[in-house]
Amino acid sequence: MSTPKVQVERLTKRFRMYPRPAARLAEWLTLGAVTRHTLFTALDNVSFSMTSGEFFGIIGPNGSGKSTLLKILTRVMFPTSGSFRIDGRVTSLLELGTGFSPELSGRANIAKSARLLGFDEEFVRARQEQMIAFADIHAYIDQPIKFYSSGMLVRLAFAIFAHVEPDVFIIDEALSVGDVYFAQKCFQRIDQMRARGCTVLFVSHDLGAIRKYCDQALYLHHGQPRFLGDARAATDVYLEAMSPGGAARNLAPRDPAGSTGSSVAVGDPAGSADRHVVFRSRCAALRSELPARLADLFDENAIARVAAFTGGRIGTGAVEIVAVRVSGSDGAAREQFARDDRLTVDVLARVRDNVERATVSLQITNRLGVVVWGTNQHLLQRRTIRLRAGAWSHARFVVGPGLGVDEHTLDVGYGDAAGEGHVFDRLSAVARVQVMAEGAADFVGAARLPCECDVAAYEPRAAPLSTAAAAPNR
C-alpha cells in the first residue's frame, strides 16, 4: 500500500472569543486569572488521508471549517491539537491575490511568486511565457495588477501555481471567479497534473464539480466531519442534510447490512462457494415474500444487485429499496442499449414506516460524473403515493429513447414529498447503462433535446437601380 501524500490525524482548532476588546485586555492584565473568553471550535477531530494523484474534495456550508482546515494545512495557522503530514512541495490557491504585490506588474509578480516558492531565475525564464499564455492576459501582463479584475487575478494565480509542478495542489473556491472557458482550461490542466502524480485538494460549493472530478470527499458541518468517502455519496449526504428539516438531523449513509426483517444483508457472493449459496438463498427467500406479479418481474438478479450494493447509500430507512431492474423495449433485462431503444427502470421497495406522501426519483449520470437527466414524481407533476408499513412499493420509469452514446450510471431513491425533504433511501450508481452506437441517430451529444429545424432557400434580392441609371435622359 502506497504512503499517503497527505495524512491528517484528529485535527482540532479552537479560537478564543471575547465579547468586547476590554475583556481581552482584562484577561491579559490578570495573566489569565480572570477568564473573559469563550471557546469556539472551528474544527473538531478531523482525520483523512490522500494518496498520490488523488482528487479530494471538501464540502460544507459557510462556517463549517473548510477554510480553517486549509489554512492549517498551508501553515497559515496552527492547530490546537492533532497533527498532519504532507509529503512534497505544496502550492495553494486560497484567498484571491494572496502573495501578490498590487504595485508590481503581472510579469513581476510571476517572478516574485516563483522566488517565494523556492525557484530560481532560470526556472522563471523557462516557464514565464507558458504561464502568460495560459493566463491569456498578454495585453495586460506588464500593467500593475491593482488594475486587474478578479477574473484576471485568478487567471494569473492559477497559471503560476499550476506550472511550478507541485506535489500537492490546494484550491479554495478560486475557480468560481473565472469564466466557464477558463474553468474548463483549469480542470484540463489539473488532469495533466494528476497524471504526473500531483494530489489535488479542492474546496468548493459547486457540487457538480465535486461529483465530476473528485474521487473522495469530506463533508464538514460546524467543524465536525459528517461523511468521508465516495464523492457522489458525500454530495448526496450534504444535500439531504441541507434540505428542509434535514440540517438538524445527523444523517449518515445507510448501512445496507443493518437492515432488519427478511431483507438481504450485503455480502460478497464471490467470497466463497458457501457464502454464494447463502447469499442466493436469501435473495430467493426475499423473492418468495413478494406478491406474484412482483415476483414475476423481479428475479433474483434484480434483488442481488441491491443486496450486494456497497456504493453510496443514504436515507432514514422508512422505505428500503430491495431490487432494481433495468430493461429495454423488449422487456429483457440488460445493461447495453441501442441509442433508439427505450430504457425501463423498475424499482422495488419495502415500506418500514408509514409515509403520507412518498416520491420516487431517477437520475442518470454519464461516465464523467455529469448529470445528464433526472426527474421525480413532483417534477413530472404526478400524484404522490401513501405508503403503509409492511407494504411493498413498485415504481417504474420509462425513459427515451434519447440518451447519447456513452456509459451511464443510475441513481434511484424514495423521498418525502410532504415538505420535510427527507430521503428515505437513495442508492447512487446502483446500475450501469451503456448506450451503443447502434440504431438510428438524429443527434450527437449527451442527450436528445426537443428540436425543430426548417431550412429554406431564397433567390438573391435584385440590386436596386443606381440614381444615375434611374434618371431620365435630357
Give me the chain's average pLDDT, please. Answer: 82
pLDDT-derived band at 261 (thresholds 50, 70, 90) equals: very low
Give me 54's grid cell. Answer: 488523488
pLDDT-derived band at 473 (thresholds 50, 70, 90) equals: low
CB atoms within 10 A of CB 225: 19
- Residue 291 region by backbone torsions, left for phi larger than 0, else alpha for psi between -120 and 50, else beta: beta
Q: Find the mean pLDDT for residues 285-302.
A: 87
Q: Are 232 and 312 in contact (CB under 8 A)?
A: yes
pLDDT at position 440 over 70: no
**Cβ-based burial of 471 (10 A; exposed 0-12, middle 13-18, buried ≥19):** exposed
Task: State pLDDT tens for residues 365-391.
Answer: 887 778 889 998 878 878 888 899 999
Residue type, position 46, single letter: V
pLDDT at 233: 83
Helices (H) and strands (E) in the chain, counts: 12, 19
Task: State pLDDT tens for residues 5-21.
Answer: 999 999 999 999 988 88
pLDDT-derived band at 265 (thresholds 50, 70, 90) equals: very low
CB atoms within 10 A of CB 91: 21
Model confidence pTM above 0.85: no
Task: State pLDDT tens for residues 194-246.
Answer: 888 999 999 988 887 888 889 999 999 999 999 998 888 888 788 777 654 44
pLDDT at 97: 63
Residue ranges covered by each domain of the chain: 6-242, 305-436
Q: Cis check for the bond before 401: say yes or no (omega within 30 of 0).
A: yes
Q: Find the mean pLDDT for residues 307-313.
A: 80
| Cα dihedral 30, 36, 40, 45 in deg (nearest 10) | 50
pLDDT at 429: 86
pLDDT-derived band at 260 (thresholds 50, 70, 90) equals: very low
pLDDT at 325: 94
Residue type, position 192, single letter: Q
Beta strand spans in 249-388 (E): 313-314, 319-327, 336-338, 343-351, 355-366, 371-376, 385-387
pLDDT at 275: 59
pLDDT at 125: 84
pLDDT-derived band at 173 (thresholds 50, 70, 90) equals: confident
pLDDT at 143: 93
pLDDT at 244: 45
Question: Under CATH, what is the fold of the domain 6-242?
Answer: Rossmann fold (3.40.50)
Query: Domain 305-436: which CATH class?
Result: mainly beta
pLDDT-derived band at 27 (thresholds 50, 70, 90) equals: confident
